[in-house]
Amino acid sequence: MLEPAQNVLEKLVQSSNFSLKSDPSLVGAVASAAADDDKDRAEKQTEKGAKDTENALRRKPELRPVHRGSQQSIDATFWHLLHVLAQGLALSRRGAARGLAEHWGALKYNQALTGDARSFMELSAEGKETAKEHYKAIQSRELGTGFALVSARRILEQRYPDRIVSIVPADTALFAGWKKLGRYKPQYFAEVWKPRERSLVIPIACKGHHSNASTSHSQLASASAHVEQVHIGPWNETPVLIFSTELPPDGPVTVNTLCAKGSGGWLSNPRGESGKFDVQPDQENFFPDIHLPTEADESPATVPGFHVTPDRYEWFARVLARTAAAGVTAFAGDGGATAQYLTDRQGRKHFTGFTHAAAGSVRDACHTLFGIKFSGTDHIFRLNGTRVEAFSGVANDLLQLLVEGRVERYRHGVYERRSTWPSGSWSNSWNGPVSIHADGTVLAMRVLP
C-alpha cells in the first residue's frame, strides 16, 4: 500500500545523519588503488604496442584527510539534501533547452532515503528497489553529488565562517575560456567569497556507488585525476576536495573524502569601485595547458589542462560570480535573466530560444514563506497518486537585482542577510517542507488542495 503523500512530506524534514570518513588509512588505500589502475593502464598500452606513458594519468599529489578525527557525522534533513542537489543540477546541461527544469529531477529521490535523528541515513525500500534496475548508475551518481555538495558546503563553512560558499558547475565556468574540455575535469567549483575581498576557488570531484569501500578507493583515485586538470595559481598549489559516496543496499550512507591543501586557488578582486561583477567577461579561447615550474635557463614546459594564471584571476572571478548568478536565476525559472550571465559557449542561446514541451520552466509563481516573498517557478506532479506542488524560487528583492544585472549588489545583499534566514524546515501556512539557502533560494513542496 502506498504511503500517503502528506506523510512522505513530513518525513522529508526529519533530520538524520551520514558519516564523513577521512583518515590516513583512506589516503593509503586510494594511493594503492591509483597504483593498481596505473599498472593496468600500462599493461593495456603495452599490449597495443604503445608507450606506457601515453595513457598515464596525472593525479593530485599529497592527498590528506579533511579533518583530524577519523570519522565524523553530518546532520541534515532529506529536504535540504534535495535542495542542494537540485541547485547543483540547475545548470547541469550548460543551458540546453531542458536545463531550466533539470533540477526537478532531484524530486524523484523524495522517497529514496530513510533515517531519523537517532540513526544514520540509508536507502529506503524504494531506494533499494530502484538501485536494482537500470537506473542504478544514475541514482548513485546523482545522490552521490547531493551528499558530496552538502559535505563540501559544511566543511568550507566551518573553515571560513565569515564567508559565503557558492557551488558552480565546473564545465559551465570552464567553457567561458576553453573550447574543449575533455573527459577529465572537476564536476564543480566551490567559490568561498566575501564582498570586497578576493575569493578562494576549490575544484570538487564527486562520485557515488552502491558497492563497498574498495569501490570508493578506486573512485577517489579517479577523482584525483579530475581535479588535477585545473590549476589556479602556482603549479600543484590549488586546494581541492574529492568525494565518493557509498550507498550500500544494506547499511548507512558513508561519504569518503580527501583534500589537498596549498597556497593557490585565490583570485584577484576585480578592479573598480562598484559594479565590478556586473560586466560580462569576454569569451576567451585559451590553449588547454598548464605551465610547469622551470629554472631560468630552461625552456617553458606544459602539460594538458586548464590553468588560471595570475593574468586571468580577475576574468575568472567574474566568470564564477556570473555563472553562480545564472544558476540562481535558472533555479527560479527565469531564462531571460539567466541568458545575460552566460557566454555563447556556456549556453546563452539555449535560454532564449525554443524550449521543448514539459522541459522548460517559467518564472510566474510567487509565494510568501516565513514572511518572505519569493518569486520562481512551480511543478505539479503526483506523489503516490496524490497531486503535489513543488516550488523553487529566490527572495523577490534579491531576484530582482539579478534580473536587472546587478550581481555586485546581489552579492552584498546575500552577505548582509546570511545569518537572518529562517532555520525552520516546515511551514504551517504552506503546509509542507521548505528549505532556504544563504543565497536566497528556496525549495518547497505541498499537497495540492
Q: Which amino acid is at 342?
A: L
Q: Is residue 412 part of a domain?
A: no
What is the pLDDT confidence band of residue 327, given thresholds at 50, 70 and 90? very high
Q: Which residue has the higher pLDDT, 335 or 389?
A: 389
For residues 165 and 190, is the Cβ–Cβ distance under 8 A? yes
pLDDT for 449: 82
SS3 50: coil
Task: Report the percent of the chain where pLDDT is more than 70.
Answer: 92
Q: Once rounded to an integer, what is the mean pLDDT over residues 319-335?
A: 94
Q: Is the pLDDT of residue 358 over 50?
A: no
Q: Which residue has the higher pLDDT, 161 or 92?
A: 161
* Domain residue limits at 308: 17-48+60-332
| Structural domain count, the chain | 1
Q: Is the pLDDT of residue 179 over 80?
A: yes
Q: Once rounded to an integer, what is the mean pLDDT over residues 125-134?
A: 81
Q: Is residue 5 part of a domain?
A: no
What Å distances lie between residue 131 and 2, 9, 325, CA to CA?
A: 19, 22, 34
For residues 230 and 190, is the Cβ–Cβ distance under 8 A? no
pLDDT for 361: 57
Q: Is residue 29 part of a domain?
A: yes
pLDDT for 300: 81
Q: Is residue 31 part of a domain?
A: yes
pLDDT for 273: 56
Q: Where are the beta strands (DSSP E) in 43-102?
A: 71-77
Least confident of 265-279, 330-344, 409-423, 430-444: 265-279
Tens-place pLDDT, residues 373-416: 999 999 999 999 999 999 999 999 999 999 999 999 999 999 99
Q: Is residue 85 part of a domain?
A: yes
For residues 104 and 86, is the Cβ–Cβ distance under 8 A? yes
- Rounded Cα distance between 126 and 130, Å, is 6
pLDDT for 357: 42
SS3 40: helix
Tens-place pLDDT, residues 419-447: 999 999 999 999 999 999 999 999 999 99
Matching residue, cell 539567466: 338
Q: Is residue 446 part of a domain?
A: no
pLDDT for 68: 66
What is the pLDDT confidence band of residue 43, given thresholds at 50, 70 and 90? confident
Q: What angle do CA 355, 357, 363 make, to 5 degrees?
A: 65
Sign of the Cα pseudo-torsion (276, 277, 282, 287, in order) = positive
Q: Is residue 146 part of a domain?
A: yes
Q: Once rounded to an integer, what is the mean pLDDT over residues 94-113?
A: 75
What is the residue-averaged pLDDT of the chain? 91
pLDDT for 354: 52
CB crowding 308-339: b at 16 or more within 10 Å, else e: beeebbbbbbbbbbbbbbbbbbbbbbbbebbb
Question: Does the reported pTM lie above 0.75?
Answer: yes
- Binning the chain into helix, strand and coil, the percentages to the nearest 5 are 35, 25, 40
Q: Is the pLDDT of residue 117 over 70?
A: yes
Q: Is residue 22 part of a domain?
A: yes
Matching residue, cell 538524520: 16
* Helix-helix angle 24-47:213-227, to 10 degrees: 70
